[in-house]
Amino acid sequence: MSLQLNQIVPDFNIDSTEGPIRFHDWMEEDWAVLFSHPADYTPVCTTELGEASRLQPEFAARGVKLIGLSVDALEDHHGWADDIRATQGHALNFPLIADSDGVVADRYGMVHPEADAKLTVRTVFVIDPRKRLRLSFTYPPAVGRNFDEILRVVDALQTADRAQVATPVNWRPGEPVIIPPSISDERARTLFPQGWDAPRPYLRYTHLPN
């Protein structure tokens, strides 16, 4: 199965390090970042879970819940959590799914046979409160994920939704945004009374109020 952007993501019931989870209910009205690992006790993923735990308050401040996944058993997860705390300096502070039967991996298309027919690839899914997939990444085994970038795209998605804008390359909060071509100049004057700069008719930059 291959999930497409804006599709409602599959629901599931499963065990985790924080007890049984029914995914859609667990999300409530929040955003979620679901990210997978090929196995427990893998070095790159150990660093990622430590960094995600360090940044968890930043995600929570944006109304985003973090949840990890590995195909190993729950008892292995608890041992791995001890290693994460000891080596990364941050204790695991969000659920880690025990997908030993591959139920979630299958529904979310996390197994790529050309990479490994039995293990999940290292994917990231950003899911909005409507349970719709808004963004996904897939990383190779040797390259650690950039959680600062995941925070950045969450900021961009939430800003785009809230203000009816698009965000330019490398955008960060507080920087100019783009008025989408689907919004006419007439409508833009109502939505963006602060005005805009247009180096080209299709490229209109504006600043959002704080």
Map out the domains of the chain with their CATH numbers: 13-144 (3.40.30.10), 164-206 (3.30.1020.10)
- The catalytic residue positions are 45
Q: Which residues contact 77 (CB under 8 A, 6 or more apart)?
A: 16, 17, 40, 70, 96, 98
Q: How confident is the model at residue 111 (pLDDT cuts 50, 70, 90)?
A: confident
21, 23, 49 from 155: Cα distances, Å: 26, 23, 21
Q: Is the pLDDT of residue 113 over 70?
A: no
Residue type, 210: N
- Enter the pTM of the model: 0.93
Q: How confident is the model at residue 170 (pLDDT cuts 50, 70, 90)?
A: very high
Select from 83, 12, 9, 19 the least CA-distant residue to 53.
83
Q: How confident is the model at residue 120 (pLDDT cuts 50, 70, 90)?
A: low
CB 105 within 8 A of CB 121: no
